Structure 1
Amino acid sequence: MHVVTLGPAGTYSHRAARAVLELHGNEGPGDSEGVSFRESVTEIVAAVASGEFERGVVPVENSIEGSVDESLDALADRKVSVVREVVSPIRHALLAQGPTFSTVASHPQALAQCREYLNEHYPDVTREAVASTARGVERAREDESIAAIGHPANAGSPASADVDAGDGLERIAESIQDRDSNATRFLVLAPESERSLAGGKTSLVVYPGANYPGLLLELLSAFADRDINLSRVESRPSGRRLGDYCFHFDIEAGLYEARTQEALEEIEAVCENGWVRRLGSYDTEHVVD
């Protein structure tokens, strides 16, 4: 199996992707032929939708900072399926060539998840948002004035052949996230044809194509009236015009269930001028890495 995720190597998404390969019986960590990288979630979703890759792994929600907007928008724009959810604890470390630096570079979510630590210990240090935690680590290896926030294992010598193998980083501090319970949900994507009806959880994207008082209540009632619990509800701009939205729902029921099918029939009637996208039903894996 070939998986695509956020790169370069060493991101938390990369670690989740390796866990997916292990769950599928592929070679263990370090299987360089099993994981490819893209610089954005949008590119990952597009690559899976086109059939270029069998699986994609994208972050969708963090317990501190909430949803990853780019992931939600990409799932609404492209036809893919969700076949598994991976939940992983996030343990951030401050990595640098030495104790003195003027900039901290990392993914915006990682910077936000360590906001309290940075405010207390490095209030005057510039915070630089980059495409991924691993990209921040690369910046720290290249420039002694830059520190990174990333997985503690990224302090070791780089795997890339074009970087001096002696350029290991120091772990200036560990477990710097604002909450010990910090965890991220990753969705495992597959082509739309592999959508499953079985699983304990289902993700949906709903575009009503309308806006009137009580619209959201109608959508929610379709689930509530059938005793279907919603574990997440979120609205995102549709991109069509100002004030126009689509809704992302995670429900604790499978598409195979009669109650889910009935609820979706009711929702589709409400959304006669829009659409309802069934991303698929799936189960959750908890991994510690």
Structure 2
Amino acid sequence: MTAVTLGPEGTYSHRAAQAVDDSVAFRESVTAIVEAVASGEFERGVIAIENSIEGSVTESLDALAENEVAVVKEIVTPIRHAILAQSEEFSKIVSHSQALAQCRGYLSEHYPDVTREAVASTARGVEHARENPDLAAIGHPANAGDGLQVIAEDIQDSSSNSTRFFVLAHPEDATEAGGKSSFVVYPNTDYPGLLLELLEPFADRDINLTRVESRPSGERLGDYVFHVDVNAGLYEERTQAALDDIREIASNGWVRELGSYDVETVV
């Protein structure tokens, strides 16, 4: 079984995907990964869903709303960022936009005059730095070598910086077993108190919501899709009862159960 994730080799997504399978394939965007799993091209996909500093990855949320896939595992990995360059002399730092944001304070303090540029992934930035002595990259210190040295290590603004990844599968592989569950809710309506009504079924049954995120539906201005994570399994009667209430509220739209799953930490 080959897992597909954000490439090239050496990304944090790659590190997470190696916990799923030794065989890893790469795509250049999160959307392409989700579509590859939804189409059956790959049995598993690994995408970043949320960072403890920068919050949710919006491309991941949108791709989950637009494609039929299941979430079968959550992987949490600590993020360790380093500046990697051929020497201490460089005029531009290149990396994924999330990595640049996660090191914003450090970069502003130590490299205020150095230009920053976002690229497709941390690993892509490392590739560029290997090819160009005028560039530095932000990535895991293990990506040093082959012409690159670690200029500065652990430069992330928070020592507890970590990222959640979802392991995706085809919908037929979804399971109700697991300590956490995720849903996507599209009410296709809007009125005062709608969000409160969507949350009350969980509160009434003592179900802890660990994440609630809204994203534009793309249908019209002010119309939203809601992404919900809870600390409860779909096998639990209270979860199904809450979802029954949610489906009634969203009767003009839809509710998608992404599945239940457990959490694995990968260092």
Give the TM bin, normalised by the shorter chain: over 0.9
Paired position in structure 1 for 2:8: 8
> Distance between the aligned counterparts of 1:65 and 1:137, measured in 2?
21
Is residue 149 of structure 2 the alignment partner of residue 170 of structure 1? yes
TM-fit CA distance, 1:156:
2.1
- Correspondence 1:185-200 to 2 at 5 A: 185-200=164-179
Asked whether 1:254 is paired with 2:233, we answer: yes
**Which amino acid is 1:11 matched to?**
T
**SS of alignment partner, residue 71 of structure 1:** helix
128, 135, 139: which is aligned to 1:146? 135
For residue 62 of structure 1, what is the aligned residue in structure 2? Answer: 51
| TM-score with structure 1 setting the length | 0.92
- Amino acid of the residue matched to residue 227 of structure 1? D
1:142-173 alpha-carbon deviations (Å, 9 max, x no partner): 1111100001011123xxxxxxxxxx201000
How is 1:1-289 mapped onto 2 (pairs within 5 angstroms)?
Answer: 1-21=1-21, 31=22, 34-157=23-146, 168-288=147-267
Distance 1:275 1:118 in 2: 44
Query: Which secondary structure does the structure 1 equivalent of 2:59 belong to?
Result: helix
d(CA) in 2 for partners of 1:112, 1:35: 27
Aligned residues: 267
Aligned to 2:227, the other structure's residue is in SS state strand
Q: How much has 1:20 moved relative to structure 2?
A: 1.7
Q: CA deviation at 1:19?
A: 1.4
Please give the alpha-carbon distance, in whole angstroms, between the structure 2 residues aligned to 1:70 and 1:113. Answer: 17
Equivalent position SS for 2:215: strand
Q: Write out the 4+ residue segments of structure 1 that deviate beyond 6 Å after TM superposition.
A: none
Question: Equivalent residue of 1:233, what SS?
Answer: strand
Give TM-score scaled by structure 2 length.
0.99
Q: Secondary structure at the match of 2:165?
A: strand
Query: How many Å separate the matches in 2 of 1:85 and 1:204?
Result: 14
Deviation of 1:8 after TM superposition, in Å, equals: 0.3
Distance 1:214 1:191 in 2: 35
Cα separation, 2, equivalents of 1:109 and 1:128: 11
Counterpart CA distance in 2 for 1:242 and 1:11 is 35
The whole-number CA distance in structure 2 between the counterparts of 1:247 and 1:237 is 9
Tell me the distance in 2 between the aligned counterparts of 1:250 and 1:154.
Answer: 33
Counterpart AA for 2:56: S
- What amino acid is aligned across from residue 5 of structure 1 in structure 2? T
Aligned-partner residue type, residue 44 of structure 1: I
Partners of 1:242 and 1:100 lie apart in 2 by: 47
Paired residue secondary structure (2:133): coil
CA–CA distance in structure 2, aligned partners of residues 4 and 222 of structure 1? 36
CA RMSD of superposed structures (Å): 0.6
In structure 2, C-alpha distance between the alignment counterparts of 1:111 and 1:19, rounded to whole Å: 25
Matches of 1:99 and 1:15, distance apart in 2: 27
| Partner Cα separation in structure 1 for residue 156 and residue 208 of structure 2 | 30
